[in-house]
Amino acid sequence: MLDIKFVRANPDAVKENIKKKFQDYKLPMVDEVIELDAKSRAVQQEASALRSERNKISKQIGGLMAKGMKEEAEAMKKKVAEEAARLEELEVQEKELSEKVTNIMMNIPQMIDDSVPIGKDDSCNVEVQKYGEPVVPDFEIPYHTDIMESFHGIDLDAARKVAGNGFYYLMGDIARLHSAVLAYARDFMIDRGFTYVIPPFMIHSNVVTGVMSFPEMDAMMYKIEGEDLYLIGTSEHSMIGRFIDEIVDEKQLPITLTSYSPCFRKEKGAHGIEERGVYRIHQFEKQEMIVVCKPEDSMMWFDKLWQNTVDLFRSLDIPVRTLECCSGDLADLKVKSVDVEAWSPRQKKYFEVGSCSNLGDAQARRLKIRVNGADGKKYLAHTLNNTVVAPPRMLIAFLENNLQADGTVKIPEVLRPYMGGKELLVP
């Protein structure tokens, strides 16, 4: 969310940013919110003047009563009563106008970074760099669930009966591999100086609106009926929510955290839940990384975060590439975003396995996450997040890239300690 002062001072820049995101229907919001803000400030000024006057008169009434001047005191009381009615009216207007301004501001997108490529949707995203040599073997790569089934490692039919499409049972070596990848990712990030955290898996509505845009919330979040609780779609939500209304000492920055959680997503409006796959599902587990830092350091941390994911996948012998998200593919709170995509030998193309985002001060403004600077002045922190690894989607890349012609799956050396020393999975 932008600062209303910035919008007042830079309406043309805000409108240009909206155009770059191909959200022209939001252009009228800029003039509307500026007009409402002006009314709000005028009402606040009048209300403030009346409160000051009331306090002044109240003191005068006390003085008059002490002098026995009851008639004059009663006249003053009548004036206070008249002004009280007007003040009550203004306070109602204050609340209504403030809510209208906030609602519009929550829908005006964050200013994107100058380096973001301009494009309408994900088809305009730009490849940045490839890491590792993508290989297409001289034998056929089966569909990922067929590979898993060869190890008796997945049961989608039973899950469908129990919970519906978008759920799964993982079993045996595949379930163990799933857990091994998460454990390895956890230790990988700890070794890079991040603090390991297991957060709450449910959050209140004020945290939801603090960490994500309204379209994201509608498309993703499951609400607990009858309670002010939502299941998290990613641990970033509760991890950033941890700092709500906090003033962090600048000496504590940067705060670097890596968190594990299950994730729950409706996937409303997405490409659809696969009946026979585990690429797009309602429930999965993920290792995430989160940074809270000074504004001048956020771009440096942005580059570090996506590089961590690249390094992890390369340590597992999986070729990847980075893809710069274009303006139209950025969620409204994001300043800049890079996707990490893994190579699929079966499809002979890359597919998304993680996303790194710099949200600038958008989340911090909504959640009131402030930093107490060395000079005593307070400012908004910057927040960033990135996927370390998210199986079972990551398992698709792992199984396809490590599958052998005889149906076995090789285990990279770094993962063997988490698999009981196994070097090979045998169907």
pLDDT digits (tens, 9 = 90+) for 314-324: 999 999 999 99
Does the pLDDT at position 57 exceed 70? no
Identify the three-state secondary structure at position 372: strand
The C-alpha angle with vertex 228 and arms to 226 and 229, in degrees rounded to 5, equals 100
Q: State percent of the chain over pLDDT 90.
A: 81
| Structure tokens belonging to residue 78 | 């009548």
Least confident of 89-93, 114-118, 211-215, 293-297: 211-215
- The per-residue pLDDT for 17 is 98
Identify the three-state secondary structure at position 354: strand
The mean pLDDT value for 204-232 works out to: 90
- The per-residue pLDDT for 73 is 61
Does the pLDDT at position 270 exceed 60? no
- Amino acid at residue number 23: Q
User: How far apart are the C-alpha atoms of 419 and 410, rounded to whole Å?
Assistant: 11
| Spatial CA neighbour of 243 closest among 195, 297, 293, 196 | 293
Q: How far is CA 339 from the centre of its chain?
A: 14
258, 195 Cβ separation under 8 angstroms: yes
User: How far apart are the C-alpha atoms of 41 and 147, rounded to whole Å?
Assistant: 63
> Could you tell me the pLDDT band of residue 50, with boundaries at 50, 70 and 90?
confident
386, 355 Cβ separation under 8 angstroms: yes
Helix axes 172-191, 298-315, angle to 10 degrees: 140
pLDDT tens digit sequence for 124-151: 999 999 999 999 999 999 999 999 999 9
Residue 89 vs residues 48, 49, 93, 394: alpha-carbon distances, Å: 13, 14, 6, 58
Q: What is the pTM of this model?
A: 0.89
- The per-residue pLDDT for 66 is 62
Q: State percent of the chain over pLDDT 70.
A: 91
- The per-residue pLDDT for 294 is 98
Q: For the chain, what is the mean pLDDT? A: 92
Residue 340 CA neighbour count, 13 Å, CB half: 31
| Spatial CA neighbour of 396 closest among 236, 242, 278 | 278
202, 192 Cβ separation under 8 angstroms: no
> Could you tell me the pLDDT band of residue 160, with boundaries at 50, 70 and 90?
very high
Q: Return all residues near 131 (Cβ < 8 A) that are at least 6 apart.
A: 310, 313, 314, 319, 320, 321, 322
Does the pLDDT at position 231 exceed 70? yes
List, in order of start, the domains of the chain with CATH numbers: 4-105 (1.10.287.40), 122-425 (3.30.930.10)
